[in-house]
Amino acid sequence: MKNVVQVKNLTKEYKTIRAIDDLSFEVKEGEILGLLGPNGSGKSTTINCILSLLNFSKGSIQVFGKEMQPNAYDIKEKIGVVFQEVAVFDELTVIENIDYFCGLYVKDKALRNQYVEDAIQLVGLEDFKKFYPKQLSGGLLRRLNIACGVAHKPKLIILDEPTVAVDPQSRNNILDGIKTLRNQGATIIYTTHYMEEVEILCDRVIILDKGKIIASGTTDELKSLAKLEEKVTVEVLDLEEKYMREISAFKNVEDVSYCDGVLCITYTKGKNNLVELMDYLKKERISYNKIFSERPTLNDVFLELTGKELRD
């Protein structure tokens, strides 16, 4: 597959801070690339550099095989961007907003009308064409924001946390729409903090931290990097601290946590971990409701690679 985006040795510095540190990666034609990382990892800076909204210290960026520049309008008209902050006009209706943004790239009125209708159908806003943004729920507003960004049928789409703070129904609608865009031939760069979305959508994932790539690959490949072998969760009420200390001392246990009546234990390796735990609970006469054993999730891998401390 051809490279739609190619980033080579990208470095971006702010005085004494190196936000991006010798970053290199590519985005293949027709794929959904997940760009992940904790707050401050360099995701937004990378996207802004790709869009030529920021100057960078070193490196090169090619989009559609051409060097990206601030005045490369022939490239930019093939790109659709949906930022996390909703950016629509309050004084325009849904259909007027989409028509305005589409009209920045598509001058033919008949073609634009068709594109606007396609975008409305894509995000499921058929019943809200005449509504103003202030009349829309948070989920509908997010869907309008997406429609405005993709109505001109761009070949490269950058989606920055498009499902943040929306209800499950709107989230499912947005995810289905993203799949449809990819099926129609778009290449997508997708950022999110919801790891389940990454597993559903992304063909490949890059995890950034401190401006560097610390892991990349498919979700299965990333999971294989984890030191964790097994994760066990147990629904148990009023677990005393001494039991957690004793479970932490089990041979293969990496971490133990207890919150809201759920005991979570991660193991680095070994077999029969579940049997050992159940025998212990029985011996100590600790009652429990449900117990699950599973392989570590992508979220577990993400936390293992980037750490569990809070980021600003």
For each of the chain's 312 residues, which pLDDT tens digit applies?
799 999 999 999 998 889 999 999 999 999 999 999 998 899 999 999 999 999 999 999 999 999 999 999 999 999 999 999 999 999 999 999 999 999 999 999 999 999 999 999 999 999 999 999 999 999 999 999 999 999 999 999 999 999 988 899 999 999 999 999 999 999 999 999 999 999 999 999 999 999 999 999 999 999 888 778 898 999 999 899 999 999 999 999 999 999 999 999 999 987 789 999 999 999 999 999 999 998 888 988 898 889 877 665
Q: 124 Cβ partners below 8 Å, 6+ apart?
A: 143, 173, 177
For 274, how many CA atoms within 13 A lie in the half-sphere containing its CB?
12
Q: How far is CA 122 from CA 43, 174, 182, in A?
A: 27, 9, 12
Cβ–Cβ < 8 Å for 59, 10: yes
Cβ–Cβ < 8 Å for 115, 106: yes
| CA max distance for the chain | 76
Domain 3-224: which CATH number of 3.40.50.1370, 3.40.190.120, 3.40.50.150, 3.40.50.300? 3.40.50.300
| Architecture label for domain 230-295 | 2-Layer Sandwich (3.30)
Task: Kindly list the domain boundaries of the chain, sorted by start residue.
Answer: 3-224, 230-295
